[in-house]
Structure 1
Amino acid sequence: MSTLQDVALRAGCSVATASRALTRNGCVSDAMIRKVRRAAAELGYRQSPAGGKAGRRVIGVLVPSVTNPVFSSSLSSIENRMLIAGHGVVIAQSHYDPAREADAVTALLTDRPTGLILTLCDPGNTGHLPPDLPPTVLLGNRPAAAFPAAVCVDNVGAGHELTRFLLDLGHRRILFVSGNFTASDRARSRHEGYLQAVTDAGVEPLEAMQIAFVGGYSQLELDTVLSRSSPTAIIASNDLLAFGVIGALRREGLCVPRDVSVAGFDGIEMGQMLDPPLTTIEMPDASMGTTAASLLLDIAGNGAPARHFDFDYQLRRGGTVRAL
Protein backbone atom coordinates (compact mmCIF):
# COMPACT_ATOMS: atom_id res chain seq x y z
CA MET A 1 0.00 0.00 0.00
CA SER A 2 1.35 3.41 -0.98
CA THR A 3 2.22 5.90 1.73
CA LEU A 4 2.37 9.68 1.90
CA GLN A 5 6.16 9.39 1.67
CA ASP A 6 5.78 7.56 -1.65
CA VAL A 7 3.54 10.33 -2.95
CA ALA A 8 6.02 13.03 -1.88
CA LEU A 9 8.88 11.15 -3.56
CA ARG A 10 6.93 10.77 -6.82
CA ALA A 11 5.92 14.46 -6.77
CA GLY A 12 9.41 15.64 -5.87
CA CYS A 13 8.44 17.52 -2.73
CA SER A 14 8.58 17.16 1.05
CA VAL A 15 6.10 15.04 3.00
CA ALA A 16 4.75 18.21 4.63
CA THR A 17 4.13 19.82 1.24
CA ALA A 18 2.42 16.67 -0.03
CA SER A 19 0.17 16.63 3.03
CA ARG A 20 -0.75 20.32 2.58
CA ALA A 21 -1.47 19.74 -1.11
CA LEU A 22 -3.81 16.83 -0.42
CA THR A 23 -5.67 18.54 2.41
CA ARG A 24 -5.47 22.05 0.91
CA ASN A 25 -4.47 23.21 4.36
CA GLY A 26 -1.67 25.73 4.08
CA CYS A 27 0.21 27.60 1.38
CA VAL A 28 0.81 25.43 -1.68
CA SER A 29 0.82 26.51 -5.32
CA ASP A 30 -1.89 25.25 -7.66
CA ALA A 31 0.80 23.63 -9.82
CA MET A 32 2.14 21.66 -6.85
CA ILE A 33 -1.38 20.64 -5.79
CA ARG A 34 -1.98 19.20 -9.26
CA LYS A 35 1.41 17.46 -9.22
CA VAL A 36 0.83 15.87 -5.80
CA ARG A 37 -2.73 14.80 -6.60
CA ARG A 38 -1.58 13.26 -9.86
CA ALA A 39 1.16 11.35 -8.02
CA ALA A 40 -1.38 10.14 -5.44
CA ALA A 41 -3.71 8.94 -8.18
CA GLU A 42 -0.90 7.13 -10.02
CA LEU A 43 0.16 5.35 -6.83
CA GLY A 44 -3.38 4.61 -5.70
CA TYR A 45 -2.81 6.50 -2.45
CA ARG A 46 -5.93 7.14 -0.40
CA GLN A 47 -6.04 9.51 2.52
CA SER A 48 -8.13 8.80 5.64
CA PRO A 49 -10.18 11.91 6.44
CA ALA A 50 -9.28 13.45 9.79
CA GLY A 51 -12.01 13.24 12.37
CA GLY A 52 -13.96 10.80 10.23
CA LYS A 53 -14.17 7.09 9.73
CA ALA A 54 -10.94 5.69 8.30
CA GLY A 55 -11.23 4.95 4.60
CA ARG A 56 -14.57 6.73 4.24
CA ARG A 57 -14.41 8.94 1.18
CA VAL A 58 -17.21 11.37 0.45
CA ILE A 59 -18.03 14.35 -1.70
CA GLY A 60 -20.37 17.14 -0.67
CA VAL A 61 -23.25 18.33 -2.86
CA LEU A 62 -25.20 21.54 -2.35
CA VAL A 63 -28.52 22.05 -4.19
CA PRO A 64 -31.25 24.64 -3.67
CA SER A 65 -33.93 22.01 -2.96
CA VAL A 66 -34.13 18.22 -3.09
CA THR A 67 -37.90 18.42 -3.71
CA ASN A 68 -37.41 19.92 -7.18
CA PRO A 69 -37.21 17.02 -9.69
CA VAL A 70 -34.45 18.88 -11.54
CA PHE A 71 -32.06 18.51 -8.65
CA SER A 72 -33.31 15.04 -7.74
CA SER A 73 -32.33 13.86 -11.21
CA SER A 74 -28.87 15.40 -10.95
CA LEU A 75 -28.33 13.96 -7.46
CA SER A 76 -29.24 10.47 -8.61
CA SER A 77 -26.67 10.66 -11.40
CA ILE A 78 -24.02 12.03 -9.05
CA GLU A 79 -24.62 9.25 -6.54
CA ASN A 80 -24.40 6.58 -9.25
CA ARG A 81 -21.11 7.96 -10.57
CA MET A 82 -19.63 8.29 -7.09
CA LEU A 83 -20.70 4.76 -6.15
CA ILE A 84 -18.54 3.45 -8.98
CA ALA A 85 -15.63 5.57 -7.71
CA GLY A 86 -16.04 4.37 -4.12
CA HIS A 87 -17.28 7.68 -2.73
CA GLY A 88 -20.30 8.44 -0.61
CA VAL A 89 -22.37 11.59 -1.15
CA VAL A 90 -23.34 14.08 1.56
CA ILE A 91 -26.17 16.44 0.55
CA ALA A 92 -27.12 19.89 1.82
CA GLN A 93 -29.80 22.39 0.75
CA SER A 94 -29.67 26.19 0.55
CA HIS A 95 -33.46 26.54 0.13
CA TYR A 96 -32.70 29.28 -2.44
CA ASP A 97 -31.45 31.46 0.41
CA PRO A 98 -28.01 33.08 0.04
CA ALA A 99 -27.90 33.59 3.81
CA ARG A 100 -28.25 29.83 4.40
CA GLU A 101 -25.79 28.90 1.67
CA ALA A 102 -22.66 29.50 3.75
CA ASP A 103 -24.00 27.43 6.66
CA ALA A 104 -24.85 24.58 4.28
CA VAL A 105 -21.35 24.56 2.77
CA THR A 106 -19.77 24.72 6.23
CA ALA A 107 -21.84 21.70 7.27
CA LEU A 108 -20.60 19.78 4.23
CA LEU A 109 -16.99 20.53 5.15
CA THR A 110 -17.31 18.79 8.51
CA ASP A 111 -17.11 15.46 6.65
CA ARG A 112 -13.78 16.47 5.10
CA PRO A 113 -15.02 15.76 1.56
CA THR A 114 -12.75 14.96 -1.36
CA GLY A 115 -14.48 17.79 -3.17
CA LEU A 116 -17.71 19.72 -3.61
CA ILE A 117 -20.41 20.03 -6.28
CA LEU A 118 -22.33 23.26 -5.70
CA THR A 119 -25.40 24.91 -7.20
CA LEU A 120 -25.11 28.45 -5.88
CA CYS A 121 -27.54 31.34 -5.78
CA ASP A 122 -24.95 33.64 -7.35
CA PRO A 123 -21.44 32.31 -8.15
CA GLY A 124 -20.28 35.87 -8.76
CA ASN A 125 -20.95 36.76 -5.11
CA THR A 126 -19.21 34.20 -2.90
CA GLY A 127 -17.61 36.32 -0.19
CA HIS A 128 -19.92 34.69 2.37
CA LEU A 129 -18.59 31.18 1.67
CA PRO A 130 -15.85 29.57 3.77
CA PRO A 131 -12.30 30.08 2.42
CA ASP A 132 -9.94 27.33 1.23
CA LEU A 133 -12.59 25.02 -0.19
CA PRO A 134 -11.54 21.62 -1.56
CA PRO A 135 -11.77 21.02 -5.34
CA THR A 136 -15.15 22.38 -6.41
CA VAL A 137 -17.37 22.07 -9.49
CA LEU A 138 -20.40 24.25 -10.11
CA LEU A 139 -23.54 22.52 -11.36
CA GLY A 140 -26.05 24.65 -13.26
CA ASN A 141 -24.10 27.88 -12.66
CA ARG A 142 -21.85 29.58 -15.17
CA PRO A 143 -18.13 29.45 -14.25
CA ALA A 144 -16.89 32.31 -12.10
CA ALA A 145 -13.49 33.67 -11.06
CA ALA A 146 -13.61 31.76 -7.79
CA PHE A 147 -15.01 28.60 -9.44
CA PRO A 148 -13.73 28.05 -12.99
CA ALA A 149 -14.91 24.42 -13.11
CA ALA A 150 -18.58 24.30 -14.11
CA VAL A 151 -21.21 22.20 -15.87
CA CYS A 152 -24.19 24.18 -17.14
CA VAL A 153 -26.40 25.26 -20.03
CA ASP A 154 -26.76 28.62 -21.75
CA ASN A 155 -29.78 29.89 -19.83
CA VAL A 156 -29.68 33.26 -21.60
CA GLY A 157 -29.92 31.46 -24.93
CA ALA A 158 -32.70 29.23 -23.60
CA GLY A 159 -34.71 32.24 -22.42
CA HIS A 160 -34.19 33.92 -25.78
CA GLU A 161 -35.30 30.84 -27.76
CA LEU A 162 -38.46 30.28 -25.72
CA THR A 163 -39.45 33.94 -25.97
CA ARG A 164 -38.70 33.99 -29.70
CA PHE A 165 -40.96 30.94 -30.09
CA LEU A 166 -43.86 32.82 -28.47
CA LEU A 167 -43.18 35.96 -30.49
CA ASP A 168 -43.26 33.93 -33.71
CA LEU A 169 -46.72 32.67 -32.69
CA GLY A 170 -47.97 36.26 -32.54
CA HIS A 171 -47.67 36.98 -28.80
CA ARG A 172 -46.63 40.52 -27.93
CA ARG A 173 -47.65 40.81 -24.28
CA ILE A 174 -45.46 38.17 -22.64
CA LEU A 175 -45.13 38.13 -18.85
CA PHE A 176 -42.11 36.56 -17.12
CA VAL A 177 -42.97 35.04 -13.71
CA SER A 178 -39.99 33.92 -11.64
CA GLY A 179 -38.56 33.06 -8.29
CA ASN A 180 -36.49 35.89 -6.83
CA PHE A 181 -33.58 36.74 -9.13
CA THR A 182 -31.25 37.16 -6.13
CA ALA A 183 -31.86 33.50 -5.25
CA SER A 184 -31.07 32.02 -8.67
CA ASP A 185 -28.69 33.17 -11.37
CA ARG A 186 -30.39 30.60 -13.63
CA ALA A 187 -33.74 32.42 -13.40
CA ARG A 188 -32.02 35.77 -13.83
CA SER A 189 -30.23 34.56 -16.98
CA ARG A 190 -33.47 33.17 -18.45
CA HIS A 191 -35.11 36.56 -17.89
CA GLU A 192 -32.13 38.24 -19.54
CA GLY A 193 -32.74 36.08 -22.62
CA TYR A 194 -36.41 37.10 -22.54
CA LEU A 195 -35.44 40.78 -22.46
CA GLN A 196 -33.05 40.34 -25.39
CA ALA A 197 -35.69 38.58 -27.49
CA VAL A 198 -38.47 41.13 -26.97
CA THR A 199 -36.06 44.01 -27.49
CA ASP A 200 -34.81 42.47 -30.75
CA ALA A 201 -38.45 42.18 -31.87
CA GLY A 202 -39.23 45.79 -30.97
CA VAL A 203 -41.72 44.67 -28.31
CA GLU A 204 -42.10 46.39 -24.95
CA PRO A 205 -41.15 43.98 -22.12
CA LEU A 206 -43.55 43.57 -19.22
CA GLU A 207 -42.24 44.01 -15.69
CA ALA A 208 -41.25 40.60 -14.29
CA MET A 209 -43.25 39.18 -11.40
CA GLN A 210 -40.96 37.72 -8.73
CA ILE A 211 -42.08 35.44 -5.89
CA ALA A 212 -40.41 33.23 -3.30
CA PHE A 213 -38.98 29.98 -4.70
CA VAL A 214 -40.04 28.05 -1.62
CA GLY A 215 -43.68 27.85 -0.54
CA GLY A 216 -45.16 30.31 -3.02
CA TYR A 217 -46.24 28.19 -5.97
CA SER A 218 -49.47 26.52 -4.87
CA GLN A 219 -51.04 29.74 -3.56
CA LEU A 220 -49.85 31.98 -6.40
CA GLU A 221 -52.22 34.89 -7.09
CA LEU A 222 -52.20 36.51 -10.53
CA ASP A 223 -55.32 38.69 -10.44
CA THR A 224 -53.43 41.96 -9.94
CA VAL A 225 -50.77 41.35 -12.58
CA LEU A 226 -53.35 40.03 -15.06
CA SER A 227 -55.48 43.16 -14.76
CA ARG A 228 -52.41 45.41 -15.00
CA SER A 229 -50.50 43.68 -17.80
CA SER A 230 -53.13 41.64 -19.72
CA PRO A 231 -50.59 39.08 -20.95
CA THR A 232 -51.45 36.67 -23.73
CA ALA A 233 -48.56 34.41 -22.67
CA ILE A 234 -46.66 33.73 -19.46
CA ILE A 235 -43.15 32.31 -19.17
CA ALA A 236 -42.36 30.73 -15.80
CA SER A 237 -38.71 30.46 -14.73
CA ASN A 238 -39.12 26.72 -14.03
CA ASP A 239 -41.68 23.99 -14.64
CA LEU A 240 -42.89 23.77 -11.03
CA LEU A 241 -43.70 27.46 -11.15
CA ALA A 242 -45.42 26.94 -14.51
CA PHE A 243 -47.72 24.42 -12.78
CA GLY A 244 -48.48 27.09 -10.17
CA VAL A 245 -49.21 29.64 -12.90
CA ILE A 246 -51.64 27.26 -14.63
CA GLY A 247 -53.42 26.62 -11.33
CA ALA A 248 -53.66 30.36 -10.62
CA LEU A 249 -55.08 31.04 -14.10
CA ARG A 250 -57.72 28.38 -13.60
CA ARG A 251 -58.72 29.95 -10.28
CA GLU A 252 -59.27 33.17 -12.25
CA GLY A 253 -61.60 31.29 -14.59
CA LEU A 254 -59.12 31.33 -17.47
CA CYS A 255 -58.27 28.43 -19.77
CA VAL A 256 -54.75 27.41 -20.88
CA PRO A 257 -53.96 27.92 -23.71
CA ARG A 258 -57.24 29.39 -25.03
CA ASP A 259 -57.04 32.51 -22.87
CA VAL A 260 -53.37 32.57 -21.84
CA SER A 261 -50.45 30.47 -23.09
CA VAL A 262 -47.94 29.13 -20.52
CA ALA A 263 -44.38 27.82 -20.90
CA GLY A 264 -41.62 26.84 -18.49
CA PHE A 265 -38.08 25.59 -18.15
CA ASP A 266 -36.48 22.26 -17.12
CA GLY A 267 -38.50 19.60 -18.94
CA ILE A 268 -39.42 17.55 -15.88
CA GLU A 269 -41.51 14.44 -16.56
CA MET A 270 -44.55 15.71 -14.66
CA GLY A 271 -44.99 18.36 -17.34
CA GLN A 272 -45.77 15.65 -19.88
CA MET A 273 -48.52 14.29 -17.62
CA LEU A 274 -50.49 17.53 -17.76
CA ASP A 275 -53.49 17.84 -20.04
CA PRO A 276 -52.38 19.44 -22.27
CA PRO A 277 -48.63 18.72 -21.87
CA LEU A 278 -46.45 21.67 -20.86
CA THR A 279 -44.38 23.60 -23.39
CA THR A 280 -40.90 23.86 -21.88
CA ILE A 281 -37.16 24.04 -22.41
CA GLU A 282 -35.77 20.60 -21.59
CA MET A 283 -32.50 20.50 -19.64
CA PRO A 284 -30.16 17.44 -19.52
CA ASP A 285 -30.06 17.30 -15.72
CA ALA A 286 -28.99 13.65 -15.41
CA SER A 287 -26.14 14.02 -17.91
CA MET A 288 -25.00 17.22 -16.24
CA GLY A 289 -24.87 15.50 -12.84
CA THR A 290 -22.77 12.63 -14.18
CA THR A 291 -20.39 15.04 -15.93
CA ALA A 292 -20.00 17.21 -12.81
CA ALA A 293 -19.15 14.13 -10.74
CA SER A 294 -16.61 12.87 -13.29
CA LEU A 295 -15.03 16.31 -13.58
CA LEU A 296 -14.68 16.60 -9.81
CA LEU A 297 -13.05 13.17 -9.58
CA ASP A 298 -10.61 14.11 -12.34
CA ILE A 299 -9.65 17.37 -10.64
CA ALA A 300 -9.41 15.94 -7.12
CA GLY A 301 -7.81 12.61 -8.00
CA ASN A 302 -5.70 13.39 -11.05
CA GLY A 303 -4.83 17.03 -10.59
CA ALA A 304 -6.64 17.87 -13.84
CA PRO A 305 -7.19 21.55 -14.62
CA ALA A 306 -10.60 23.13 -14.10
CA ARG A 307 -12.83 22.88 -17.17
CA HIS A 308 -16.19 24.21 -18.27
CA PHE A 309 -18.80 22.05 -20.01
CA ASP A 310 -21.79 23.72 -21.70
CA PHE A 311 -24.68 21.33 -22.44
CA ASP A 312 -27.38 21.76 -25.08
CA TYR A 313 -31.03 22.38 -24.21
CA GLN A 314 -34.09 21.56 -26.32
CA LEU A 315 -37.44 23.25 -26.85
CA ARG A 316 -40.24 20.77 -26.16
CA ARG A 317 -43.49 21.94 -27.72
CA GLY A 318 -46.57 21.01 -25.73
CA GLY A 319 -50.19 21.98 -25.74
CA THR A 320 -50.06 24.87 -23.26
CA VAL A 321 -49.10 27.39 -25.96
CA ARG A 322 -51.20 28.43 -28.96
CA ALA A 323 -50.75 30.76 -31.89
CA LEU A 324 -52.70 34.01 -31.91
Structure 2
Amino acid sequence: MTGGGADIASGHLPVMWQQVMEGLRVVENGTYLDGTFGRGGHARGVLQRLGGGGRLLLMDKDPEAIAVAEREFGTDPRVTIRRGSFADLANWDAAQNGLDGVLFDLGVSSPQLDVGERGFSFGKDGPLDMRMDPDSGESAAQWLARASEQEIADVLWTYGEERMSRRIARAIVARRAQQPITRTADLAQVIASNMPRGKHDIHPATRSFQAIRIHINRELDDLERGLDAAYANLKTGGRLAVISFHSLEDRIVKRFIARHAKAPPANRRLPAAESFVPTLRAIGDAQKADTAELAANPRARSAVLRVAEKLEAAA
Protein backbone atom coordinates (compact mmCIF):
# COMPACT_ATOMS: atom_id res chain seq x y z
CA MET A 1 0.00 0.00 0.00
CA THR A 2 0.97 3.61 0.03
CA GLY A 3 1.84 6.00 2.77
CA GLY A 4 4.21 8.75 3.81
CA GLY A 5 7.95 8.57 4.09
CA ALA A 6 10.66 8.49 1.49
CA ASP A 7 11.05 8.06 -2.24
CA ILE A 8 9.13 11.17 -3.17
CA ALA A 9 11.02 11.46 -6.45
CA SER A 10 9.51 8.27 -7.83
CA GLY A 11 6.01 9.35 -6.85
CA HIS A 12 5.58 6.48 -4.39
CA LEU A 13 5.27 7.24 -0.71
CA PRO A 14 5.42 4.01 1.31
CA VAL A 15 3.17 3.81 4.35
CA MET A 16 4.74 4.46 7.75
CA TRP A 17 8.22 4.50 6.23
CA GLN A 18 10.04 5.84 9.28
CA GLN A 19 8.25 3.50 11.69
CA VAL A 20 9.04 0.50 9.48
CA MET A 21 12.73 1.41 9.32
CA GLU A 22 12.87 1.78 13.10
CA GLY A 23 10.96 -1.46 13.56
CA LEU A 24 13.18 -3.53 11.28
CA ARG A 25 16.30 -2.09 12.94
CA VAL A 26 18.43 -2.91 9.89
CA VAL A 27 21.95 -4.20 10.63
CA GLU A 28 24.65 -3.49 8.08
CA ASN A 29 25.41 -7.05 7.02
CA GLY A 30 22.01 -8.57 7.66
CA THR A 31 19.63 -10.37 5.31
CA TYR A 32 16.16 -8.89 4.81
CA LEU A 33 13.11 -9.94 2.87
CA ASP A 34 10.49 -7.54 1.51
CA GLY A 35 7.61 -9.84 0.64
CA THR A 36 5.52 -7.09 -0.98
CA PHE A 37 7.88 -5.01 -3.11
CA GLY A 38 5.20 -2.83 -4.69
CA ARG A 39 7.23 0.05 -6.10
CA GLY A 40 10.14 -0.36 -3.71
CA GLY A 41 9.74 2.47 -1.22
CA HIS A 42 10.48 0.37 1.84
CA ALA A 43 13.08 -1.69 -0.04
CA ARG A 44 15.08 1.45 -0.84
CA GLY A 45 15.14 2.35 2.82
CA VAL A 46 16.49 -1.07 3.77
CA LEU A 47 19.08 -1.02 0.99
CA GLN A 48 20.34 2.40 2.08
CA ARG A 49 21.13 0.91 5.48
CA LEU A 50 22.84 -2.26 4.23
CA GLY A 51 26.58 -2.58 3.77
CA GLY A 52 28.46 -4.58 1.17
CA GLY A 53 27.83 -7.83 3.04
CA GLY A 54 24.09 -7.28 3.40
CA ARG A 55 21.40 -8.94 1.33
CA LEU A 56 17.92 -7.88 0.29
CA LEU A 57 15.42 -10.44 -1.00
CA LEU A 58 12.47 -9.00 -2.94
CA MET A 59 9.17 -10.72 -3.70
CA ASP A 60 5.91 -9.70 -5.33
CA LYS A 61 3.07 -11.44 -7.18
CA ASP A 62 2.64 -8.54 -9.58
CA PRO A 63 4.71 -8.74 -12.79
CA GLU A 64 4.70 -4.94 -13.07
CA ALA A 65 6.23 -4.66 -9.59
CA ILE A 66 8.85 -7.26 -10.48
CA ALA A 67 9.70 -5.32 -13.65
CA VAL A 68 10.34 -2.23 -11.51
CA ALA A 69 12.47 -4.27 -9.11
CA GLU A 70 14.54 -5.69 -11.96
CA ARG A 71 15.00 -2.28 -13.55
CA GLU A 72 15.95 -0.42 -10.38
CA PHE A 73 17.68 -3.10 -8.30
CA GLY A 74 18.58 -5.91 -10.69
CA THR A 75 22.24 -4.90 -11.05
CA ASP A 76 22.88 -4.58 -7.30
CA PRO A 77 24.79 -7.71 -6.18
CA ARG A 78 23.15 -7.47 -2.75
CA VAL A 79 19.65 -7.91 -4.21
CA THR A 80 17.86 -11.12 -5.24
CA ILE A 81 14.41 -10.94 -6.87
CA ARG A 82 11.66 -13.56 -7.11
CA ARG A 83 8.16 -13.28 -8.54
CA GLY A 84 5.64 -14.98 -6.30
CA SER A 85 3.60 -14.78 -3.13
CA PHE A 86 5.28 -14.37 0.24
CA ALA A 87 3.16 -17.35 1.25
CA ASP A 88 5.75 -19.43 -0.60
CA LEU A 89 8.87 -17.83 0.87
CA ALA A 90 9.62 -21.08 2.71
CA ASN A 91 10.33 -22.63 -0.70
CA TRP A 92 12.89 -19.99 -1.67
CA ASP A 93 16.43 -21.24 -1.13
CA ALA A 94 17.71 -17.68 -0.65
CA ALA A 95 15.60 -17.36 2.51
CA GLN A 96 16.72 -20.65 4.03
CA ASN A 97 19.95 -19.36 5.57
CA GLY A 98 18.08 -17.16 8.01
CA LEU A 99 16.58 -13.69 7.87
CA ASP A 100 17.30 -10.67 10.05
CA GLY A 101 14.07 -9.01 9.06
CA VAL A 102 10.86 -9.59 7.12
CA LEU A 103 8.36 -6.97 5.91
CA PHE A 104 4.84 -7.58 4.65
CA ASP A 105 2.95 -4.49 3.44
CA LEU A 106 -0.48 -6.00 2.85
CA GLY A 107 -3.34 -5.08 0.58
CA VAL A 108 -3.41 -3.46 -2.84
CA SER A 109 -0.78 -0.93 -3.89
CA SER A 110 -1.45 2.58 -5.14
CA PRO A 111 -0.21 1.76 -8.66
CA GLN A 112 -2.71 -1.10 -8.76
CA LEU A 113 -5.55 1.12 -7.54
CA ASP A 114 -4.66 4.01 -9.81
CA VAL A 115 -4.65 2.02 -13.05
CA GLY A 116 -8.23 1.26 -14.08
CA GLU A 117 -7.16 -1.66 -16.28
CA ARG A 118 -6.15 -3.67 -13.20
CA GLY A 119 -9.78 -3.76 -12.09
CA PHE A 120 -9.25 -3.00 -8.40
CA SER A 121 -10.96 0.38 -8.15
CA PHE A 122 -14.66 1.18 -8.17
CA GLY A 123 -13.65 4.78 -8.92
CA LYS A 124 -11.88 4.02 -12.22
CA ASP A 125 -13.70 2.01 -14.87
CA GLY A 126 -11.84 -0.95 -16.25
CA PRO A 127 -12.03 -4.71 -16.78
CA LEU A 128 -13.23 -6.45 -13.62
CA ASP A 129 -10.04 -8.37 -12.89
CA MET A 130 -8.65 -7.72 -9.35
CA ARG A 131 -5.86 -10.30 -9.61
CA MET A 132 -2.54 -9.22 -8.12
CA ASP A 133 -0.98 -11.85 -10.37
CA PRO A 134 -2.89 -11.46 -13.66
CA ASP A 135 -1.38 -14.71 -14.96
CA SER A 136 -2.80 -16.88 -12.19
CA GLY A 137 -6.29 -17.96 -11.19
CA GLU A 138 -9.63 -16.56 -12.26
CA SER A 139 -10.58 -12.91 -12.45
CA ALA A 140 -13.31 -11.28 -10.38
CA ALA A 141 -15.52 -11.21 -13.47
CA GLN A 142 -15.05 -14.94 -14.04
CA TRP A 143 -15.81 -15.74 -10.40
CA LEU A 144 -18.92 -13.54 -10.29
CA ALA A 145 -20.16 -15.24 -13.47
CA ARG A 146 -20.13 -18.71 -11.90
CA ALA A 147 -20.46 -18.31 -8.12
CA SER A 148 -23.76 -19.07 -6.43
CA GLU A 149 -25.76 -16.35 -4.75
CA GLN A 150 -24.96 -17.89 -1.37
CA GLU A 151 -21.23 -18.04 -2.10
CA ILE A 152 -21.17 -14.38 -3.18
CA ALA A 153 -23.07 -13.34 -0.05
CA ASP A 154 -20.72 -15.34 2.17
CA VAL A 155 -17.64 -13.71 0.62
CA LEU A 156 -19.07 -10.20 0.98
CA TRP A 157 -19.95 -10.84 4.62
CA THR A 158 -16.81 -12.76 5.65
CA TYR A 159 -14.18 -10.61 3.95
CA GLY A 160 -15.97 -7.27 3.70
CA GLU A 161 -18.19 -7.38 6.79
CA GLU A 162 -20.87 -6.03 4.45
CA ARG A 163 -24.24 -5.98 6.23
CA MET A 164 -26.14 -5.87 2.95
CA SER A 165 -24.31 -8.91 1.58
CA ARG A 166 -27.43 -10.94 0.76
CA ARG A 167 -29.17 -8.08 -1.00
CA ILE A 168 -26.07 -7.28 -3.06
CA ALA A 169 -25.50 -10.94 -3.96
CA ARG A 170 -29.11 -11.26 -5.09
CA ALA A 171 -28.74 -8.13 -7.25
CA ILE A 172 -25.51 -9.41 -8.82
CA VAL A 173 -27.11 -12.73 -9.76
CA ALA A 174 -30.15 -10.94 -11.21
CA ARG A 175 -27.97 -8.56 -13.23
CA ARG A 176 -25.71 -11.27 -14.65
CA ALA A 177 -28.80 -13.15 -15.87
CA GLN A 178 -29.43 -10.16 -18.14
CA GLN A 179 -25.82 -9.49 -19.11
CA PRO A 180 -22.37 -10.42 -17.78
CA ILE A 181 -20.76 -8.06 -15.26
CA THR A 182 -17.35 -7.45 -16.78
CA ARG A 183 -16.48 -3.85 -15.81
CA THR A 184 -15.69 -2.29 -12.44
CA ALA A 185 -18.16 0.53 -13.10
CA ASP A 186 -20.93 -2.01 -13.79
CA LEU A 187 -20.32 -3.81 -10.50
CA ALA A 188 -20.06 -0.56 -8.55
CA GLN A 189 -23.37 0.59 -10.03
CA VAL A 190 -25.14 -2.66 -9.15
CA ILE A 191 -23.90 -2.43 -5.57
CA ALA A 192 -24.64 1.27 -5.09
CA SER A 193 -28.15 0.99 -6.51
CA ASN A 194 -28.98 -1.71 -3.98
CA MET A 195 -27.67 0.04 -0.88
CA PRO A 196 -30.01 1.96 1.43
CA ARG A 197 -30.29 5.65 0.64
CA GLY A 198 -28.73 8.02 3.09
CA LYS A 199 -25.37 9.39 4.10
CA HIS A 200 -22.39 7.16 3.35
CA ASP A 201 -19.06 7.80 5.04
CA ILE A 202 -17.41 5.63 2.38
CA HIS A 203 -18.40 4.66 -1.14
CA PRO A 204 -21.15 2.01 -0.96
CA ALA A 205 -19.06 -0.42 -3.03
CA THR A 206 -15.95 -0.20 -0.80
CA ARG A 207 -16.57 -3.25 1.37
CA SER A 208 -17.77 -5.44 -1.49
CA PHE A 209 -14.77 -4.63 -3.69
CA GLN A 210 -12.47 -5.33 -0.75
CA ALA A 211 -14.14 -8.66 -0.07
CA ILE A 212 -14.03 -9.85 -3.66
CA ARG A 213 -10.37 -8.82 -4.00
CA ILE A 214 -9.39 -10.68 -0.83
CA HIS A 215 -11.22 -13.78 -2.03
CA ILE A 216 -9.80 -13.71 -5.57
CA ASN A 217 -6.22 -13.35 -4.28
CA ARG A 218 -6.59 -15.70 -1.26
CA GLU A 219 -5.07 -12.90 0.80
CA LEU A 220 -5.89 -14.14 4.30
CA ASP A 221 -4.76 -17.70 3.60
CA ASP A 222 -1.54 -16.35 2.11
CA LEU A 223 -1.02 -14.13 5.16
CA GLU A 224 -1.28 -17.05 7.57
CA ARG A 225 1.15 -19.14 5.50
CA GLY A 226 3.52 -16.21 5.08
CA LEU A 227 3.61 -15.45 8.80
CA ASP A 228 4.45 -19.07 9.61
CA ALA A 229 7.20 -19.10 6.98
CA ALA A 230 8.65 -15.78 8.14
CA TYR A 231 8.69 -16.97 11.75
CA ALA A 232 10.42 -20.22 10.79
CA ASN A 233 13.15 -18.44 8.82
CA LEU A 234 13.83 -15.49 11.13
CA LYS A 235 17.07 -15.60 13.05
CA THR A 236 17.13 -15.02 16.79
CA GLY A 237 16.86 -11.26 17.18
CA GLY A 238 15.31 -10.89 13.72
CA ARG A 239 12.34 -8.58 13.28
CA LEU A 240 8.96 -9.12 11.64
CA ALA A 241 7.08 -5.99 10.52
CA VAL A 242 3.56 -6.21 9.08
CA ILE A 243 1.40 -3.35 7.83
CA SER A 244 -2.28 -4.25 7.53
CA PHE A 245 -5.18 -2.19 6.25
CA HIS A 246 -8.30 -3.73 7.72
CA SER A 247 -9.35 -5.54 10.85
CA LEU A 248 -9.35 -9.05 9.37
CA GLU A 249 -5.66 -8.82 8.47
CA ASP A 250 -4.67 -7.09 11.68
CA ARG A 251 -6.53 -9.68 13.77
CA ILE A 252 -4.54 -12.48 12.14
CA VAL A 253 -1.24 -10.67 12.74
CA LYS A 254 -2.12 -9.78 16.34
CA ARG A 255 -3.14 -13.33 17.18
CA PHE A 256 -0.07 -14.77 15.47
CA ILE A 257 2.28 -12.62 17.56
CA ALA A 258 0.33 -13.33 20.75
CA ARG A 259 0.41 -17.09 20.12
CA HIS A 260 4.20 -17.06 20.17
CA ALA A 261 4.62 -14.33 22.78
CA LYS A 262 2.07 -15.13 25.49
CA ALA A 263 1.13 -18.28 27.33
CA PRO A 264 -2.39 -19.48 26.51
CA PRO A 265 -4.95 -19.01 29.29
CA ALA A 266 -5.06 -21.90 31.74
CA ASN A 267 -7.98 -24.28 31.69
CA ARG A 268 -8.72 -25.81 35.08
CA ARG A 269 -10.52 -28.74 33.45
CA LEU A 270 -7.41 -29.86 31.57
CA PRO A 271 -4.14 -31.26 32.88
CA ALA A 272 -1.45 -28.67 33.56
CA ALA A 273 0.30 -27.73 30.32
CA GLU A 274 4.05 -27.65 29.96
CA SER A 275 5.62 -24.34 30.89
CA PHE A 276 5.32 -21.82 28.08
CA VAL A 277 8.48 -20.33 26.60
CA PRO A 278 7.88 -17.27 24.40
CA THR A 279 9.62 -17.25 21.02
CA LEU A 280 8.41 -13.83 19.87
CA ARG A 281 8.34 -10.47 21.61
CA ALA A 282 5.98 -7.73 20.49
CA ILE A 283 7.89 -4.49 19.95
CA GLY A 284 5.59 -1.84 21.39
CA ASP A 285 1.90 -1.56 20.61
CA ALA A 286 0.22 -1.37 17.24
CA GLN A 287 1.27 1.81 15.44
CA LYS A 288 -0.76 4.08 13.15
CA ALA A 289 0.20 6.82 10.73
CA ASP A 290 0.70 10.24 12.32
CA THR A 291 -1.23 13.38 11.40
CA ALA A 292 1.48 14.65 9.05
CA GLU A 293 1.42 11.44 7.02
CA LEU A 294 -2.37 11.36 6.94
CA ALA A 295 -2.42 14.91 5.59
CA ALA A 296 -0.03 13.91 2.78
CA ASN A 297 -1.64 10.54 2.08
CA PRO A 298 -5.22 9.90 3.26
CA ARG A 299 -4.93 6.24 2.13
CA ALA A 300 -2.73 5.65 5.18
CA ARG A 301 -5.66 6.28 7.53
CA SER A 302 -6.42 2.58 8.02
CA ALA A 303 -2.82 1.34 8.17
CA VAL A 304 -1.72 -0.55 11.29
CA LEU A 305 1.90 -1.60 11.85
CA ARG A 306 2.87 -4.41 14.20
CA VAL A 307 6.47 -5.40 14.88
CA ALA A 308 7.79 -8.49 16.68
CA GLU A 309 11.26 -9.85 17.45
CA LYS A 310 12.27 -13.52 17.31
CA LEU A 311 13.55 -14.81 20.66
CA GLU A 312 15.93 -17.65 21.26
CA ALA A 313 14.10 -20.95 21.40
CA ALA A 314 14.41 -23.09 24.48
CA ALA A 315 17.04 -25.82 24.28
Regarding TM over 0.5, the answer is: no
- What's the TM-score once normalised by structure 1's chain length? 0.28
Calculate the TM-score normalised by the size of structure 2.
Answer: 0.29
Rg comparison, structure with higher value: 1
